Amino acid sequence: MKNALTHHRKSSKTEATQLKFTKLLLMMDTYWNFIEFHQILQRLQRRWFSCSTGCCKILESGRLILLVVLSNGPCTTAFLLADRSYDVWLGNFRGNTFSRRHTTLNPSTAEFWKFSWDELGNHDITSSIDYVLKFTGQPRLSYIGYSLGSAAVFMGAVKHQDLNSKIDIVIALAPLSTFAHAAIEVLRVFAPWVDYLKRALDFMGVYGWFDTDGLGDQIFKSFCEQTRTQAQFCIDYFYNIFVGPSKNLDPDMIPLFNANLMRGTSVKVIAQFAQNYNAGKTLQAYDFGREGNMLRYGSHKPWTYDLRNVTVPVYVFSGGADRVVTPLDVDWLLTQLGNLKGSTRLIDYNHLDFLFGIDVKERLYDKVVALLPAP
């Protein structure tokens, strides 16, 4: 699958602009900012699959940073890092609106959507990191992951031990691992029925899900974006139900939230959330059922990821009001990681505050930048 990995570079106005890739030119202060779109091809089981896409701001002398996050919030982090002479790559996982190109498969077919967390971590992350290191000629990079972006790099580091030596530091923001204590009521209701729901969706030909393009966008715009009162209502009730309470989200930013959230993934990715919730305190591979697991893993149960094999230094930032990645689940993760260097809990942060919180720069991003090796 083809994937557009964007490379964003800062230079002086007078510099010649002979770039090999598609460019988007932006003006910021006294600098031009160039965005290059890279195509990554990944070979898997005789097919080409998608890896991660992204935007990047680069100085040739800068240190390498890879952020696997999905919205405008971390782009703020990217600009903070780029302004400090870091080389920043920002990625999206396969299956969302920005990562649906393939050399042979069409997103309208079931084959395109046959991926779970395991493919994201064991193939997409590793391919993206290898691509960036080869392109830049650097031996290692730093990795900042949010939510499933953190779980994916943990999974990749467990399955591919050489990945640990390619990363000098992992900063995990609201990091997903076990899902045993997730406090999302919708998940709790439907998780016991996940296998039946998955088969029903397969029967109906639904393989990709959680994409707000089209009808979803219209619903959000109608109920959350018409007035500031509507926006505050969505924060207080809708977002509260799914990610946790917050007094740190600006209602004026609701259109930005909706433009970046729920951009699509596979049914298997969503099902794996429910599977890990049902499995309890563990991080397990996709459950194909007893017969499928025997064919895939050689046992009736799915493979589990031993996080002690994550030997790269890890710093964790979590939220005390997060309903998705709850404090109890983070506490479990902290006991499992093989090389945990530090953990910070922002007591009033929910899952979205890490991306869109009003005070996120002062309370989080500045601390993240301080942990990174100097450029």
pLDDT tens for 1-59 read: 544 454 544 443 333 322 222 222 232 333 334 455 565 555 333 222 222 333 222 22
pLDDT in tens, 97-124: 777 777 788 887 888 888 899 999 998 8
Residues annotated as part of the active site:
147, 322, 351
Rounded to two decimals, the pTM is 0.78
Q: Residue 312 CB: number of other CB atoms within 10 A?
A: 22
- DSSP for 226-260 reads SSHHHHHHIIIIIIHHHH---S---GGGHHHHHHH
- Helices (H), ranges, the chain: 72-82, 117-119, 125-136, 148-159, 185-190, 194-204, 215-224, 228-233, 240-243, 254-260, 267-279, 289-297, 327-336, 353-356, 360, 366-371
**pLDDT of 169 higher than 50:** yes
What's the pLDDT band for 249 if we cut at 50, 70, 90? confident
Cα 125 to Cα 158: distance, rounded to the nearest angstrom: 12
